[in-house]
Amino acid sequence: MTTILSDEALHSTAVWIDYDAEADQLLINTERKRRKTKNARNEPRIAVSMTDLDNPYRMLSIICALQWPFQLSIREAGV
């Protein structure tokens, strides 16, 4: 996931991603206090890139603007 810092530099980090087909939503696993979450609150434009583990030549890139407010789903670790 790539977000934009306040000085407009790019900040890229590896994240776990899933897709909820029923809700048509991309689910990004992070914590509220992480830099990427703070960046996305200040600048909602992000980019996400995914590679198929079974076929590394199959990939998907998404460039989008998150809708505010974010729908945060908080879960305890291990749940």
pLDDT tens across 30-77, in order?
A: 888 899 989 988 898 999 988 888 999 999 888 888 876 666 554 544
> 56 φ, ψ to 5°?
-65, -10
Structure tokens at 25: 């939503």
DSSP 3-28: EE-TTS-EEE---EEEEETTTTEEEE
Mind listing the pLDDT tens digit for each residue in 3-24? 999 999 999 999 988 888 898 8
Burial group, residue 40, by CB count within 10 angstroms (0-12, 13-18, 19+) = buried
